[in-house]
Amino acid sequence: MSVKLSGPARLGLGLAGLVLFFGVWEAAVQSGLLPSGMVPAPSSLGPAWLDEVRGGFWQQAILDSLNHYLLGLLIGSVLGAGLGILCGMLGVLDSLLEGVVRLLRPVPGLAWVPFAILWFGLSTAGATFVIAISVFWINFYAAHSAVRGVDPELYELASAFGHGSFVGRLVKIVLPASAPGIMAGLRTGLGQGWMSVVAAELFGVPGIGARMMQASSLLATDVVVVYMLTMAMLYAITDFLFGFVRKWVLRWQP
Amino acid sequence: MSRADMVASLQDVGLSHDGGAHFVLRHVSLTLERGEFVALLGPSGVGKSTLLRVLMGLMHPTEGQTGGSACAADAGAQTTRRSRAMVFQDARLLPWRSVLRNVMFGLEGLHLSKSEKITRAQEALRLVGLEDAQDRLPRRLSGGQRQRVGVARALTVDPDLLLMDEPFGALDPITRTSLQEELQRIWQQTHKTVLFVTHDIEEALRLATRVVVLAGGPPAGITGEIVLDMPHRNPDTPAFRTYAARLRAMIAGEPDPGGEAYWRSAEI
């Protein structure tokens, strides 16, 4: 049986877990249990981070990656959710695209990197493309199933009150009714987007991912971990900020 | 009856969901006159709601003609009203809209300014006694209140014909009775033409000026109708019970027992 914990108790336990995690890690490295060449000690991360900040690499990497991330997220989310909504509403389009979707869906974002280089070169556009693709599918499926789940009786209501046209149904019924599902897709996409930033920058487009690759080729494991944590922090911030958007859009929900 | 008094009509309407192989309804003719309160009475699943949707313009009859003031899709962009409006059994409010904005749903797209829409929606809410609840969300309302909002939403478009699909069927008996009384009051205030679908004989007799029975089948058809002449809608009066017996016979497809015979048996 699981015990129901209060909010502060859960927060406290979560922090304790983190402290324990870093404590054990530090102890393992200090005691020689983990080879320090392979795993950096947590205590070395602070100095490594300061070095990166002083050189201006850290700030620049974040700015570059944010640029790819936000643009890729925007394009992938809008196109994915948009096509998902259309397919959810239009049976003909849905059937027409079903085969194509099944074909392309399993292709991971990383597999598009060769084409990204070929089409866009080592540029922001290439990285943006890879991020957009990985975000696209999440939003496509979330929006698609959200729209398919709209109560058909609401369409009848729309028709009875003069909103039976495609645009009427879209604006008055489909968008608000499927908003919870679409927002869930956007939120999952926020996380997926950060994950694919590394893939998108693997091939040399400057940013956090590229900086990690450089550091790892120099065996500067502490720098790699600094950027891992940076990405975790950026994800936490975007997810936190999106929480406000979500709460505002779905303010009618309990 | 002049054409101006006719709000809607069905002539020899038949409806089939499979292109004519099996009919749900057939040979249905019905004319609704301005100001009438017609109860469409019949057993569950007989096709009453389907007939209502044909009148609403949500379904097209397989055969026969529909007539009356223009159907669901109103012609002209300048109009400030809709010819028909519907109240659903499940209220069918939009959970993301406040009560006021739910009522305004049917006004959107009409030739009205924003403030006119708000004023009209508020008037409708006042009519159903929910003027203080306009900012609440539907999930904060009771079942009866939700259905009142559904009624307000239909009234606010100022329809020639108000179609009600068992609107009180899902409510508890106490709420139901109070809403029936309220609907009577609203009907007397607004003089709307109402077609009220129900499977409850007592409800039909409480509310209507005319009861039309849809039964038999499939395909179902109109098996009889009674124009009610009762000053008091009290179920304990002999007149009420006589009407009820006649309606029961019509639903069962038996011959009309007539008024007199029942009078005598009821007195014993």
Same domain, A84 and A57: yes
Q: How high is the mean pLDDT of chain B? A: 84
Do residue A161 and residue B82 have CB atoms under 8 angstroms apart? yes
Query: Do the strands B221-227 and B23-33 form a parallel or antiparallel pair, or are they unpaired?
Result: unpaired
Q: What is the CATH number of the domain that holds A121?
A: 1.10.3720.10
Same domain, A54 and A14: no
Q: Nearest residue on chain A to B89, judged by CA atoms?
A: A153
Same domain, A80 and A206: yes
pLDDT of residue A69: 93
Res. B76 pLDDT band, cuts 50 70 90: low
pLDDT above 70: residue A53: yes
One-letter amino acid of A208: I
Same domain, A23 and A57: no
pLDDT digits (tens, 9 = 90+) for B106-145: 899 888 889 999 999 999 999 888 889 999 999 999 888 9
Q: What angle do CA B242, B244, B250 make, to 5 degrees?
A: 105
Same domain, A89 and A148: yes
pLDDT digits (tens, 9 = 90+) for B142-167: 888 999 999 999 999 988 899 999 99
Same domain, A12 and A54: no
Same domain, A199 and A212: yes
Asked if the structure places residue A254 within a domain, the reply is no
Same domain, A20 and A123: no
Residues of A in contact with B78 (CB under 8 A): none
Same domain, A89 and A203: yes
Do residue B58 and residue A163 have CB atoms under 8 angstroms apart? no
B96–A contact, CB cutoff 8 A: yes
Do residue A160 and residue B109 have CB atoms under 8 angstroms apart? no
Same domain, A9 and A104: no
Query: Is B215 in contact with B248 (CB distance < 8 Å)?
Result: no
Mean pLDDT of the A7-19 span:
91
pLDDT of residue A241: 95
pLDDT of residue B72: 40
Asked if the structure places residue A196 within a domain, the reply is yes
State how far residue B235 is from chain A, nearest Cα, in angstroms: 35
Kind and range of the H or E element at A27? helix A7-30
Residues of B in contact with A182 (CB under 8 A): none
Q: Nearest residue on chain B to A167, judged by CA atoms?
A: B109
Q: Domains in chain B and their CATH numbers?
A: 1-69+161-169+190-268 (3.40.50.300)
Residues of A in contact with B85 (CB under 8 A): 160-161
**Nearest beta carbon to residue A162 from set B106, B139, B153:** B106
Q: In DSSP terms, which residues pair with B213 in a beta bridge?
A: B41, B224
Kind and range of the H or E element at B211? strand B210-215
Asked if the structure places residue A19 within a domain, the reply is yes
Res. A76 pLDDT band, cuts 50 70 90: very high
Query: Is B68 in contact with B31 (CB distance < 8 Å)?
Result: no
Same domain, A26 and A86: no
Widest CA span in chain B: 63
Do residue A161 and residue B110 have CB atoms under 8 angstroms apart? no
Q: Reduced to 3 states, what is the DSSP secondary structure of residue B256?
A: coil
Structure token pair of residue B60: 């097209």
pLDDT above 70: residue B265: no
A156–B contact, CB cutoff 8 A: yes
A166–B contact, CB cutoff 8 A: no
State how far residue A233 is from chain B, nearest Cα, in angstroms: 33
Query: Is B16 in contact with B210 (CB distance < 8 Å)?
Result: no
pLDDT above 60: residue B266: no
Q: Give just the sign of the alpha carbon dihedral B252, B256, B261, B266.
A: positive
One-letter amino acid of A24: V
Range(s) of the domain holding residue A204: 44-249
One-letter amino acid of A97: L
Do residue A157 and residue B92 have CB atoms under 8 angstroms apart? yes
pLDDT digits (tens, 9 = 90+) for B218-240: 788 888 888 888 777 787 888 88
pLDDT above 60: residue B2: no
pLDDT of residue B258: 65
Res. B268 pLDDT band, cuts 50 70 90: very low
pLDDT digits (tens, 9 = 90+) for A134-176: 999 999 999 999 999 999 999 999 999 989 899 999 999 999 9
State how far residue B96 is from chain A, nearest Cα, in angstroms: 5
Res. B262 pLDDT band, cuts 50 70 90: very low
Residues of B in contact with A156 (CB under 8 A): 58
pLDDT above 70: residue B252: yes
Same domain, A76 and A162: yes
What is the ipTM for the molecules in this complex?
0.85
Res. B4 pLDDT band, cuts 50 70 90: low
pTM beyond 0.90, yes or no = no
Structure token pair of residue A20: 């324990």
Work out how many domains chain A is built from and give that number.
2
B76–A contact, CB cutoff 8 A: no
